[in-house]
Amino acid sequence: MLDIADELNRWAEQGRDFAVATVVAVGGSAPRRPGAALAVDGEGTAIGSVSGGCVEGAVYDLCVQVLQDGEAVVERFGYSDEDAFAVGLTCGGIIEVLVTPVSADAPDRQVFAAALSAAARRETAALARVARGPAELLGRPLLVHPGGSYEGSLEGHPDLDRTVVGEARALLDAGRTGTFALSEDGSRCGADLTLFVESSVPPPRMIVFGAIDFAAALVRTGKFLGYHVTVCDARPVFATRTRFPEADDVVVDWPHRYLQRTETDSRTVLCVLTHDAKFDVPLLEVALRLPVAFVGAMGSRRTHEDRHRKLRDAGVTERELARLHSPIGLDLGARTPEETALSIAAEIVAARQGGTGAPLTGSRTPIHHDDAKEREAGGAGAHAAA
């Protein structure tokens, strides 16, 4: 539900009753990931989506029913071989949907409101809800903050809340959305309850080094993909807000110096577009030793070879060099800044999601690579957040 937090937060502030349907599990080629949500208010207004269209009508009706009954439900939707027009996922996947009422007088209203407010402000928090278990616990929320404080209670065994908080914090620290099973007494050796955790974290960072025309196009693409985008260049005449109005930050500083002092994490992507050794080499010395998601550098094949040689001379190891995506981008035949930005963004997505970059036409590779990874691991593990 946190993926539609902006609108739901407005509904909560306006005192509206609503029901929200959240995808809590998927199987096969499902169109939306866990956390995708559809909500319906007391007037019948709907926002969001759980399937991209396949089962929206049935889920809408469930929301209306739950809003009237005041009881949370879980429903599974899958493809019907007998009737392709029946309610189901014609893509062959399965989704499990938790539908929860959030009425103005509900005991858990304040917990949901706090979670939506935090997500709308892009603050870090995790919302844990019972996705499988006794009817009286289904949908019950617990809002967990980074420091370990929490709001709400599952009102079960004294150890249950404490264990849920610990598990939710682990998912929150990784910025992930996922599920875990516990016994009703809070021990990890049972599976009486399945908890679904949605992590609300600030958007990942994209830092673009080099205030050139290609950077302007990449800023727009990065914003479209949901990144907090920073442009950094040592030349004040180029690194201006006028040239990059859509960037979240425009920084005038030497790239390596800025990278040393700014915050990065395992979701951060670094795009080096300067293709100038005096900037690139000291910058990449720092970048390739950081635990970030992606490091890419623009340049010709000749520039790439010369850059590698200078980085080796500077003490960068072969293992560190292997992390560098250079020349940056997939081979799309790109010419314009916009096409080049698209090729760079495509490589970032492929690198982060485990894609090959090959055409799906004629390919036998999985469309959803995280599904394949889960099958290989026996279906265990948490899903990455949006």
Q: What is the pLDDT of residues 131-177, one digit of tens each?
A: 999 998 999 999 999 888 999 998 877 889 999 999 999 998 878 89
DSSP per residue over 330-348, as a string? --S---SHHHHHHHHHHHH
Distance CA 368, CA 77 (A): 18
Contact 92, 79 (CB under 8 A): yes
Q: Is the pLDDT reported for residue 385 higher than 60?
A: no
The pLDDT-based confidence of 384 (bands split at 50, 70, 90) is very low
Q: Is the pLDDT reported for residue 29 higher than 70?
A: no
The pLDDT-based confidence of 7 (bands split at 50, 70, 90) is very high
Q: Is the pLDDT reported for residue 33 higher than 90?
A: no
Looking at residue 85, its pLDDT comes to: 41
Q: What is the mean pLDDT of the chain?
A: 87
Task: Check residues 222 and 304 and name the one with the higher pLDDT.
Answer: 222
Looking at residue 86, its pLDDT comes to: 47
The pLDDT-based confidence of 91 (bands split at 50, 70, 90) is low
Distance CA 309, CA 253 (A): 25
The pLDDT-based confidence of 386 (bands split at 50, 70, 90) is very low
Looking at residue 292, its pLDDT comes to: 95
Distance CA 54, CA 26 (A): 14
Q: What is the mean pLDDT of residues 94-100?
A: 91
**C-alpha 336 chain-centroid distance:** 29
Domain range annotation of the chain: 1-106, 107-202, 205-353
- Kindly report the length of the chain: 386
Closest CA to 212 of 36, 56, 337: 337
Q: Is the pLDDT reported for residue 380 higher than 80?
A: no
Superfamily of domain 205-353: NAD(P)-binding Rossmann-like Domain (3.40.50.720)
Q: Is the pLDDT reported for residue 203 higher than 90?
A: no
Contact 87, 58 (CB under 8 A): yes
Locate the DSSP E strands across 176-310.
176-182, 193-200, 205-209, 228-233, 249-252, 269-272, 294-297
Contacts of 237 (CB under 8 A, 6+ apart): none
Angle between helices 277-287 and 301-313 (to 10 degrees): 60
pLDDT digits (tens, 9 = 90+) for 336-352: 999 999 999 999 999 98
Q: What is the mean pLDDT of residues 62-72?
A: 94
Contacts of 69 (CB under 8 A, 6+ apart): 101
The pLDDT-based confidence of 365 (bands split at 50, 70, 90) is low
